[in-house]
Amino acid sequence: MGRRRFLGLGAVLTGSLAVGGKQAIADAAQESPPADAPWSQSIGAGVVDRPYGRPADTEASVIRRNVPWLTASAESSVSFSPLQDLHGIITPNGLFFERHHAGRPDIDPAQHKLMIHGLVERPLLLTMKDIMRFPSVSRIHFIECPANGGMNWRAAQMNSLQFSHGMVSCAEWTGVKLSTLLEETGIRNQAKWAMVEGADGAHMNRSLPLDKCLDDCLVVYAQNGEALRPEQGYPLRLVVPGWEGNVNIKWLRRIKLGEKPWHTREETSKYTDLMPDGTSRGFTWLIDAKSVVTFPCPEKPLDGPGLYEIRGLAWTGNGKIKRVDVTMDGGVNWQSARLHEPVLSKALTKFTLPWRWDGRPALVASRVIDETGYVQPTIAQLRAQRGSNSVYHNNSIQTWQVKPDGSVFNVQLA
């Protein structure tokens, strides 16, 4: 009762301002919002109201999304991270892109085991408890599906940042170095390759050179500080820093060392790059340097002329980002953007550049140079080398067309 009377009094007071005329009230209402919104005049929900926690209800549109017409079934398919609504280099666990080959298994960690065998001195069967006892490391790395951007190989098709670039995500991974596990089993001299296999229905498997396994691969059980999400391989996955997503085997259950590669279905029939002359490239694991402007983008148009901050992400499987350049005129002139710390090896790197938009048509794009000196190519340069049937590894420069009304479209330049 008391509160209602108080609110009523407020209305009366506001009404008394009407002396100045109706227009003045309308202006005053717009220019001075209520000092206290309803949530400032009530008590909020208590702790453990949401024991795990979730995003605000008004963020309900920020979700992974799929392209229903792209794949035969949702079990062997992909979903895309909403890069247009993300603001840093770490992808929240619920928004990390998905690629499953036989759906997401829900695994009981008490029953999950990792076998390491083949050309080892001492074949091992490890439980999750065993694996978590080994010395742990945490590293921040991106994972990108090599088919990210595949739908734009022939032409600009997807009018969306989420669907053109959303098969890349980045997390802090915690686990044990694969080299530690292989030292524990011992490696026989003849061993040159490893076959890594998942516990999903696909028994998804790939061959990896032993050198890469010993260099920087991780067998991880945690992602951004909590247990892996089931979609990301719970309870155990492989992380192969800087290499294409599908070799980062999820639900990892077996590692076998051998003398030669296996030429599995996923490295012959799939994940090989068909060239215009009919030959195919195999074992193209590396993710070459790539960048994209995440604002503006088709999902986030401009709201009239004025000062904006162009924002974007860059990454490379070859180490660290050295520089990112941005053009507003389709590549006539470029300016170097500011790189934001931390700039980590084989991790997403954030860049920004202030831009005063005059309201005229613009063609906005970014170009990354990594620490090896490699420069991100244009789609025309890639097509000149690889044609347009290679499906994978489209790391070309992404151009966004900005129209005078501020709307943004995915285009390609001749």
C-beta of 229 vs 323, nearer to other proteins: 323
CB of 344 to other proteins, least distance (A): 22
Query: ∠ CA(136), CA(145), CA(253), 5° rounding?
Result: 45
Beta-strand ranges (E) seen in 3-123 are 77-79, 98-100, 113-118
Q: Pick the piece of the chain touching other proteins (CB under 8 A) from 51-59, 68-76, 90-98, 208-216.
A: 68-76
Quote the CA–CA distance of 227 and 322 in Å, as a whole number. 32
Pairing assessment for the beta strands 273-274 and 77-79 based on DSSP bridges:
unpaired
CB of 77 to other proteins, least distance (A): 10
Place of tokens 């008590």: 43
Residue 106 binds to other proteins (criterion: CB under 8 A): no
- Is 221 within 8 Å of 251 (Cβ atoms)? no
CB of 257 to other proteins, least distance (A): 12
Place of tokens 């686990």: 175
User: Which member of 93, 127, 136, 352 binds other proteins (CB under 8 A)?
Assistant: 127
Task: Say whether the peptide bond before residue 235 is cis (omega within 30 degrees of 0).
Answer: yes
Residues 262-291 that bind other proteins (CB under 8 A): 262-265, 268-269, 272, 274, 276-286, 288
What are the two backbone dihedrals, phi and then psi, of residue 165, each rounded to the nearest 5 degrees?
Answer: -135, 5
C-beta of 67 vs 90, nearer to other proteins: 67
C-beta of 17 vs 155, nearer to other proteins: 155
Residue 232 binds to other proteins (criterion: CB under 8 A): no
Place of tokens 């209800």: 57
Q: Pick the piece of the chain touching other proteins (CB under 8 A) from 88-96, 114-122, 307-315, 347-355.
A: 114-122
Q: How many residues bind other proteins (CB under 8 A)?
A: 113
Residue 215 binds to other proteins (criterion: CB under 8 A): no
CB of 340 to other proteins, least distance (A): 20
Which DSSP symbol is given to 337? P
Strand, helix or coil for residue 333: coil
Q: Pick the piece of the chain touching other proteins (CB under 8 A) from 22-30, 119-127, 225-233, 234-242.
A: 119-127
Quote the CA–CA distance of 291 and 364 in Å, as a whole number. 12
Residue 136 binds to other proteins (criterion: CB under 8 A): no
* String of contacts with other proteins for each residue 334-373, x by CB under 8 A: xx---------------------------x---x-x----
Place of tokens 């006539």: 332
Which residue, 66, 95, 67, is CA-closest to 83? 95
Tokens of 335: 């300016």
Alpha helices in 191-292 (DSSP H): 210-216
CB of 69 to other proteins, least distance (A): 4
User: Which member of 92, 109, 186, 406 binds other proteins (CB under 8 A)?
Assistant: 186
Residue 231 binds to other proteins (criterion: CB under 8 A): no
Beta-strand ranges (E) seen in 86-189 are 98-100, 113-118, 124-127, 137-144, 168-177
CB of 395 to other proteins, least distance (A): 9
Q: Pick the piece of the chain touching other proteins (CB under 8 A) from 92-100, 139-147, 209-217, 327-335.
A: 327-335
CB of 379 to other proteins, least distance (A): 9
What's the full length of the chain, in residues? 414
Chain CA centroid to CA 366, Å:
17
- One-letter amino acid identity for 254? R
* String of contacts with other proteins for each residue 380-399, x by CB under 8 A: -xx--xx--x---x------
Residues 146-185 that bind other proteins (CB under 8 A): 151-152, 155-160, 162-163, 180, 183-185
